[in-house]
Amino acid sequence: MAVLPIARMGAEVLKRRAAEVTDFADPTLATLVNDMMETMIDARGVGLAAPQVFRSQRLVMFFVPPSRNGGIAVPLTVMINPVITPLSDVKDEAFEACLSVPGLTGMVPRHTTIVYSFRDLAGAHHERPASGFHARVVQHECDHLDGVLYPQRMADMTSLAYADVLQAEADAAGKELELDEEG
C-alpha cells in the first residue's frame, strides 16, 4: 500500500466526469482501493474519490464516525459507479472542507435525505438510504466523480474562509465549530 498524492483544486482530473468502472476483475482496482484507504487515513479525511488521487474512475470511499451520526457509525464503504437519488427537495447548509481544497471551508447546501446505489469490489449491487451527515458525505464524494468541488455548490461565497481562522474565532468566543475534512 502507498500514500498517493492528492490532486488540488485546479487539477484537470478534478474538472471532468470520471469514467465508469467496467472491469471488476481488474487487479489494479483492489490496489487502488487499498492505496486510497491509506491516503485517506494519512490525510485524516472521512472520504476520498479516485479523481482526488489522479485516477479518473467512478470510485469513492467514505466512513461516518458515530459522533456525527447519532452514535451509529457507518463503516468504511467502497462505492463503484455510485448513483444518488434525493428523497426530497429539503436541503440543509453546513460547513464542508475538502482534501483537494486544503485549508478552506464553506457553507454548502445538500439534500438532507437520499438513497444511493453502488457496486462493491466484487460487482455486487447495494442500495442504502442516508440522512444528515451520512447523506452529506456521500453527496460530497460523488460530486468529485462529476468534476464538482464544494465551492461550486456554495450558495453564498462570503462563507468561504480559512478553517483555522474560523476555528480561532470560535475558540476565542468559547463556541464549538464542526469542520470536517471530507474528501
Tens digit of each residue's pLDDT (9 = 90 or more) over 68-127: 888 999 999 999 999 999 999 999 999 999 999 999 999 999 999 999 999 999 999 999
| Nearest-angstrom CA–CA distance, 96 and 183 | 9
In a domain, 102, yes or no: yes
Using alpha carbons, list the distances in angstroms from residue 28 to 25, 55, 99, 125: 9, 11, 23, 20
Q: Indicate if 141 belongs to the active site.
A: yes
In a domain, 5, yes or no: no
> Exactly one of 38, 93, 141, 169 is catalytic; which is it?
141
In a domain, 52, yes or no: yes
Query: What domain range is 32 assigned to?
Result: 12-172
Taking residue 72's Cβ as centre, other Cβ atoms within 10 Å add up to: 10
In a domain, 139, yes or no: yes
In a domain, 2, yes or no: no
Alpha helices in the chain (DSSP H): 27-43, 132-145, 163-172
Residue with cell 478553517: 163
pLDDT class of 170 with cuts at 50, 70, 90: confident
Provide the terminal-to-terminal Cα distance of the chain, rounded to the nearest Å. Answer: 19
Tell me the pTM.
0.95
pLDDT class of 176 with cuts at 50, 70, 90: confident
Nearest to residue 101, comparing CAs of 149, 55, 39? 149
> Is the pLDDT score of 182 beyond 80?
no
Q: How many domains does the chain have?
A: 1
In a domain, 83, yes or no: yes
Phi and psi (nearest 5°) for 36?
A: -65, -40
In a domain, 74, yes or no: yes
Q: What is the domain-level CATH number for residue 161?
A: 3.90.45.10
Cell of 39: 491516503
In a domain, 57, yes or no: yes
